[in-house]
Amino acid sequence: MPIIKPVKGIHPQIPDDCFIAENATIVGEVTMGSQCSIWFNAVIRGDVHFIKMGNKVNVQDGAVIHATYQKSPTTIGNNVSIGHNAIVHGCTIHDNVLVGMGSIIMDDCVVESNCIIAAGAVVTANTRVESGSIYAGVPAKKIKDISPELISGEIDRIANNYVTYSSWLT
């Protein structure tokens, strides 16, 4: 069974159509939209501030979503993929975003819609990732504009695939 715990009387809000892996951890003020999936060893800690996720968000194996106490909540839009072992901390991610494996998005960042954060990138605090961009590196910088092919071929494809993958396990 996954670890799903309230903090200070506030319970995670998880729709029935979401998939939560047996060893995922979700605590505190976490609100999910429909068709989300939280995969093996993922941790979502809404213990120090709220975490709000839209529809069709997948949080892949080993990823961590957290916030900063009384300062920086985490808000994630619709159709977002958080890659394996990524860290999303106290930031805002808009719709249609792919957060690559092992990347880190720090406090008070804003990742606008239709973006890719490359695997291993570190988006430092207070960075604004402009819509339609690909950011990579340490610290992450814009490397190019995203093409419509990458939006449909990667961002949409991965988000849709994770809805399918979760159906295999329910």
The DSSP line for 57-104 is -EE-TT-EEE-BTTTB-EEE-SSEEE-TT-EEES-EE-SSEEE-TT-E
Please report the pLDDT score of residue 161 as a whole number.
97
pLDDT digits over 135-159, tens only?
999 999 999 999 999 999 999 999 9
In the chain, the domains with their CATH numbers are: 3-168 (2.160.10.10)
User: What is the arithmetic mean of pLDDT over 52-79?
Assistant: 98
In this structure, which amino acid lies at residue 11? H
- Gap between the Cα atoms of 34 and 32, Å rounded: 7
Report yes or no: 114 and 146 within 8 Å, Cβ to Cβ: yes
Give the side-chain half-sphere CA count within 13 A for 170. Answer: 16
Query: Which of the residue ranges 43-52, 84-93, 161-170 would you say has the lowest mean pLDDT?
Result: 161-170
Contacts of 125 (CB under 8 A, 6+ apart): 106, 107, 108, 109
**Cβ distance 133 to 115 under 8 Å?**
yes
Banded model confidence at residue 80, pLDDT cuts 50, 70, 90: very high
